[in-house]
């Protein structure tokens, strides 16, 4: 079978690339070795957000009296929470199947590997069959997998990654989470909220170390207040696994601490799925364990492209989808603008939520800008007070000379919904003046963005 485009991997980069290619008139196939939708739909974004919503609802119920509602003795049904998250993920995967069929994309199940002829050999382990496919253009969208701890015994079912943590049969009484990036803090929030004792270990000085420092400090303060045990500037030296659980030895500036927990979650990041897929045989250039591509995602080998977590850049579902569309448009002979990686929203879905875009304050200064910074606390927001979510703030950063919007950082209720306003404004090269003169509805959480801009330009009324 000969195609115009074959996409290897059906995650948010792969399936979007396949559908876009077909919509642009190209005969297209997508190869998937497991479940349609990839890690995001099946083991990442969707099931985790489902669990986080369950935790948030439980928190509402526990604190219902503060809203004037009296309830007694709410309980967590952990098994039902896990089942709900799996059901949601499975339904989303079926949705991808529907979209691919609707757009006439052929789905080929099996493990896809490039050969020296630039064809794709697919091995289906279910029926032990092998088939070779040819295409003018091949897109590598194989995503990434969870990195596991080096100082941990191999094969222990008490040291888990993102797949295992989403299919636990029983709620652990205690959990140690190693790594305080987005995955780590989201699971820390989830388990802490439903009553598990949580220890969070981070090698760097701050949780969410890629975020603006003020955001990281604020979340740390909120987490500690909620009872999460933080170990920052800390390294896991050893994990000793017994039938009872795990003893994790943590080194913090030379001081050793031993933490006991039922399980340990490795949340130290991801590594791309680029091994054993034939890249070396074709001479595809790899740099720092990522496939090297140009601004339209072409590798050094003609007809071979790569998008998503296998290339340099933020490992985010919406980034992979954007790259997929640009890549297909370029293959089809269109002339799209390259992706602006400084205008990519980043979101973390713990409570309070965190969302950011553009430069942090330190990065803006490093880039040589003279800046104006404004912060507006949600404690001064009428809507935040009404919904009992006063934690957090909006922080905005502008270039002093031209009023260019350099960055925005939000920690608070519904932050992940609010950040889109900033993304559109930055895309349109909106200045501070235009934001200030845009009437925002009241009372809303989103008006805090305008209020933060007003603080930056000494025009604040409500603080």
DSSP letters, 138-177, are EEE---EEE---TTS-TT-TTEE-HHHHTT-SS--SEEEE
Nearest partner of 112 among 36, 35, 32, judged by Cα:
32
Q: Are 419 and 404 in contact (CB under 8 A)?
A: no
Widest Cα–Cα separation across the chain: 70
Q: Is 440 assigned a catalytic role?
A: no
Q: Which residues pair with 256 in a beta bridge?
A: 251
Positions of E strands within 141-289: 144-146, 159-160, 174-178, 197-201, 229-231, 234-241, 246-252, 255-261, 263-266, 270-272, 286-287
Alpha-carbon gap, residue 179 to 202, rounded angstroms: 5
Inter-CA distances, 30 with 43, 127, 351, Å? 19, 19, 36
In the block, tokens 């974004």 appear at: 45
Alpha-carbon gap, residue 119 to 6, rounded angstroms: 10
Backbone angles phi, psi at 455, to 5 degrees: -60, -45
Alpha-carbon gap, residue 420 to 82, rounded angstroms: 30
Q: For residue 286, how many other CB atoms are within 10 A of its CB? A: 14
Q: Are 171 and 76 in contact (CB under 8 A)?
A: yes
Alpha-carbon gap, residue 170 to 172, rounded angstroms: 6
Q: Are 272 and 143 in contact (CB under 8 A)?
A: yes
Positions marked catalytic = 442
């Amino acid at each position: 079978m000969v195609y115009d485009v074959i996409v290897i991997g059906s995650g948010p980069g792969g399936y979007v690339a396949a559908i876009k290619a077909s919509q642009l008139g190209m005969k297209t196939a997508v190869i998937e070795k497991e479940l349609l939708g990839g890690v995001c739909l099946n083991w990442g974004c969707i099931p985790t957000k489902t669990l986080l919503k369950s935790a948030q609802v439980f928190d509402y119920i526990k604190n219902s009296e503060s809203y004037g509602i009296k309830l007694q003795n709410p309980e967590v049904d952990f098994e039902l929470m896990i089942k709900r998250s799996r059901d949601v993920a499975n339904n989303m995967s079926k949705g991808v199947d529907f979209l691919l069929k609707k757009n006439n994309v052929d789905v080929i199940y099996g493990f896809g590997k490039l050969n020296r002829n630039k064809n794709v050999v697919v091995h289906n382990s279910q029926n032990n069959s092998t088939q070779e496919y040819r295409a003018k253009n091949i897109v590598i969208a194989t995503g990434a997998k969870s990195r596991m701890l080096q100082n941990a015994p191999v094969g222990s079912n008490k040291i888990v990654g993102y797949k295992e943590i989403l299919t636990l049969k029983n709620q652990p009484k205690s959990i140690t989470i190693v790594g305080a990036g987005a995955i780590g803090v989201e699971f820390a929030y989830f388990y802490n909220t439903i009553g598990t004792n949580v220890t969070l270990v981070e090698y760097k000085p701050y949780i969410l170390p890629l975020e603006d420092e003020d955001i990281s400090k604020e979340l740390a303060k909120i987490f500690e207040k909620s009872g999460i045990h933080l170990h920052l500037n800390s390294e896991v030296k050893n994990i000793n696994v017994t039938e009872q659980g795990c003893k994790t030895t943590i080194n913090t500036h030379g001081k050793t601490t031993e933490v006991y927990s039922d399980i340990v979650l490795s949340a130290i990041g991801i590594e791309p799925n680029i091994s054993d897929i034939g890249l070396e045989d074709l001479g595809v250039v790899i740099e720092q364990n990522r496939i090297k591509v140009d601004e339209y995602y072409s590798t050094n080998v003609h007809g071979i492209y790569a998008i998503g977590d296998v290339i340099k850049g933020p490992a985010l579902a919406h980034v992979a989808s954007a790259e997929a569309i640009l890549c297909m448009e370029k293959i089809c002979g269109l002339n799209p603008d390259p992706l602006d990686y400084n205008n990519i929203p980043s979101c973390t879905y713990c409570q309070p939520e965190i969302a950011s875009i553009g430069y942090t304050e330190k990065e803006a200064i490093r880039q040589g800008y003279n800046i104006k910074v404004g912060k507006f606390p949600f404690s001064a927001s009428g809507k935040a007070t009404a919904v009992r979510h006063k934690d957090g703030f909006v922080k905005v950063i502008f270039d002093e000379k031209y009023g260019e919007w350099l960055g925005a950082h939000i920690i608070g209720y519904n932050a992940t919904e609010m950040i889109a306003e900033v993304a559109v404004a930055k895309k349109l090269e909106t200045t501070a003046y235009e934001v200030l003169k845009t009437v925002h509805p009241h009372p809303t959480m989103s008006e805090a963005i305008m209020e933060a801009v007003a603080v930056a330009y000494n025009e604040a009324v409500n603080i």
